[in-house]
Structure 1
Amino acid sequence: MMMKKPSFTMGLKAVTLIGATGLVAMGAVVPRQGHADAMLFPVMTRSPSVATIVSVVNKDPQGVVNLNYFTKSADLASPCIDEGVKQVAASGRENDMLTFDASGVFLSSEGGGPLFNDPETLAPYGAVQFSTTNTGVARGFLIVDDGDDTSQGGTGADLYGEAVMLEIAGGAAFGYRALNPAQDVAYAPAAILGNWGGLTALLGEVLDQDLGTGFAGTTFMPPNEWTTRFFVTPVADGTGTAAGQRDCENCSVSIYISPDQAGTVAGMHDRDTVMRSEPFAPAALPTSAKNVVCTGAVDMTDILPQAVVNQIASQGGWGYVQIRAGTSGNVENSATVLKLEYNLVGGTATTMLSPDSSTSFTGTVNNGVWLRNAGVQGISLF
């Protein structure tokens, strides 16, 4: 089912839905129903050399913080394990800030937090486990909620979060802001995301094919000198079989790169206007597409035809990252995608970069970008 894109008029949210029962319009005044505020941290990595530092600001007067980790091995096809919801705070105080290591590398003997000399005087936490219980090399995502619909719960006004992915040995890092969909309207049965998840990601954080926003334009550095990696987390948007994000242990999406918004061919544009591509019709997906289950990381060179990789190896270019229906488990066609460009190899060594072919420098490059498409020109639709 194809959905109309959200539109914005006079600074007020006006979302139009077309469903089986006809036309439903939701303008500036939206019916509310109680849900706890819940945030999605779509990228979490755990290894002896990589930590995921999470900060949560909670304005709810009850001071409750609930954590729900979903973790897996690095294999794209493996499902996640739902570690269950655990309460790490219930201070009865508002305006608290909590920082912890989701991966458990820092303060490993104390549950991964709290970090940065938190006095815990007015908002104590006690002996709780902040980090994932997965002790291996793992990827995952984290849902944080405040367990309250009596304050400003469900409006997005209680919780705010950020994460820093820290490569300990080399010092490289990148960060992102957590997705708080403020989801409390009538079409949202789940505590986070669920039906029409893309519509509540108003900054375009969810690439959603059903909304016509299943693609995002982006640039690509030369793969001969840079690694471009995409962290992909399928999102339950109500069109698949998962009711909400907490049911996404085996949600899957497909990802590939194309030179056009419609994604009719696989490839990209080089730096000199030339389209480098390969057709794949009548197949639904190119052979370069990868299926990602629950969450995972894929490199640019792995989701492009090899002939195209060879053609743009020394120059890079631009194109569209495409999200399509997965091929296993709970099939979804919406996801969050974070792009990471880096030159860090082997944990500590770095490659030589020479953007102008004469002035070279060494050092760590780690640039992270959350790919977005809200279906509105000027945000990321071009």
Structure 2
Amino acid sequence: MKTIQILALTTGMIVSPLGQADHLLFPFVVSNPDNVVTLISITNMASTYGYLRYRYFYKSATNNDECQEYEFIRSTYPGDIVTFDVSGTLGDGAPVNNDPDSYEGRFSLPSMTRAVRGYLLVNHYDKDTKTATKEGATTLMGQATVIEIQSGSAWGYQAFNDTKADEKPDFSKSGGVISTDKSVPFTFQPSASNQWTTKFFVTPVGSDMTGASSQYSSHLKFTINNQNSANMASDITCTGAIDFADVMSAATLQNVEETGGWGTLTLDKATGYSPAIIFKLDYTYSEDILQSGSANNGILLGN
């Protein structure tokens, strides 16, 4: 059991609205051993001893691929906080921060050398009935920090709680979710000479984020102010990342790479497409901007 958190490493925490249920969603986790790690902290505020079920849905970097699932259960108790690295690089998958508890196993993804991204679901769990248990509203709290080890660059967010206290984790109407056919504005920095890179991290959500039901897809349409960019679009299944420069035409990129600008992002409402949680990440290592180090800023769109 630990009573402190190590998230002071984060350059800026992104706070997501908390719901009133037992399922917890970390919409973006990254595992690239020795390069990028994701630190997860989970606080159990329930009053009973028991177990938590952890379900990773992960894949390689291809946006249209479906995710595969990796599931396990670990012990927990009132007032506990556990922090671990999804990649297993830090602590070899065991709890970090000198946590004296073993929790009966590792918390990381299976050992692998390839880079993967995904999302993580956590909920109270009954080992005997093999079902989710209802321990009361907001009894789980979570925070994540994504760290690039080589540069020390980091960004973080607070996990989402679902909107219904039943067996199926429903995040379709959670605070911060962008609904279909909704447009949200965003800004982007100059990208010329590798000054800034803008990426969008997208996880489609729905009324059941588990099993075969987890393969939700979203169709994103981008429009840049005063630019002819009607054909800028991208599809994401399960979870994915979009490099903003990759969805722009060569002409559009040339027009905005020295100045930056602003635009809008819209989720398609056509049948088969889902709402999504979307973070915009702006980062740079440019010596023209920084004397040393890096800058990394993540913003929850639609909040």
User: Would you say same fold, with TM above 0.5?
Assistant: yes
1:217 aligns with 2:168: no
Structure 1 stretches of 4+ moved >6 Å: none
Q: Which amino acid aligns with 1:67?
A: Y
The equivalent position to 1:278 in structure 2, one of 219, 225, 229, is: 229
Distance 1:70-1:43 versus aligned 2 partners, 3 A rule: same
Matched with 1:192 is: 169
Deviation at 1:191, TM superposition (A): 2.2
Q: Which amino acid aligns with 2:160?
A: L
Distance 1:146-1:244 versus aligned 2 partners, 3 A rule: same
1:257 aligns with 2:241: no
Aligned residue pairs total: 273
Matched with 2:161 is: 180
Q: Which amino acid aligns with 2:84?
A: F
The equivalent position to 2:61 in structure 1, one of 70, 74, 99, is: 74
The equivalent position to 1:114 in structure 2, one of 65, 70, 95, is: 95
1:362-373 superposed matches below 5 A? 362-373=292-303
Assess if the C-alpha contact under 8 Å between 2:65 and 2:237 holds in 1: yes
Assess if the C-alpha contact under 8 Å between 2:124 and 2:134 holds in 1: no
Larger RCO (CA within 8 A; separation ≥ 6): 2
Assess if the C-alpha contact under 8 Å between 2:172 and 2:206 holds in 1: no
Q: Which amino acid aligns with 1:353?
A: D
Matched with 1:312 is: 256
Deviation at 1:190, TM superposition (A): 5.2
Q: Deviations over 1:104-147 (max 9, x none)?
A: 11122xxx121101122xxx513x12011261211111001112
Distance 1:150-1:310 versus aligned 2 partners, 3 A rule: closer
Matched-pair identity in %: 30
Distance 1:43-1:248 versus aligned 2 partners, 3 A rule: farther
Q: Distance between the aligned counterparts of 1:118 and 1:220, measured in 2?
A: 41
The equivalent position to 1:96 in structure 2, one of 73, 80, 83, is: 80
Assess if the C-alpha contact under 8 Å between 2:56 and 2:109 holds in 1: yes
The equivalent position to 1:162 in structure 2, one of 134, 137, 143, is: 143
Assess if the C-alpha contact under 8 Å between 2:22 and 2:135 holds in 1: no
| Normalised TM-score (structure 1) | 0.66
1:222-233 superposed matches below 5 A? 222-224=190-192, 225-233=195-203
Matched with 2:3 is: none
Assess if the C-alpha contact under 8 Å between 1:190 and 1:244 holds in 2: no
Matched with 2:108 is: 131
Deviation at 1:304, TM superposition (A): 2.7
Matched with 1:87 is: 73
Deviation at 1:219, TM superposition (A): 1.1
Assess if the C-alpha contact under 8 Å between 1:252 and 1:325 holds in 2: no
Assess if the C-alpha contact under 8 Å between 1:255 and 1:303 holds in 2: no
Deviation at 1:151, TM superposition (A): 3.0
1:329-348 superposed matches below 5 A? 331-343=272-284
Distance 1:361-1:315 versus aligned 2 partners, 3 A rule: farther
Q: Distance between the aligned counterparts of 1:78 and 1:353, measured in 2?
A: 37
Assess if the C-alpha contact under 8 Å between 2:216 and 2:274 holds in 1: no
- SS of 1:278's equivalent in the other structure is coil
1:15-34 superposed matches below 5 A? none
Assess if the C-alpha contact under 8 Å between 2:84 and 2:107 holds in 1: yes
Matched with 1:206 is: 177
Deviation at 1:351, TM superposition (A): 2.0
Deviation at 1:245, TM superposition (A): 4.5
Distance 1:208-1:247 versus aligned 2 partners, 3 A rule: farther
- SS of 2:150's equivalent in the other structure is coil
Q: Distance between the aligned counterparts of 1:249 and 1:151, measured in 2?
A: 24
Matched with 2:24 is: 39
| Normalised TM-score (structure 2) | 0.83
Over aligned residue pairs, what C-alpha RMSD do you find?
A: 2.3
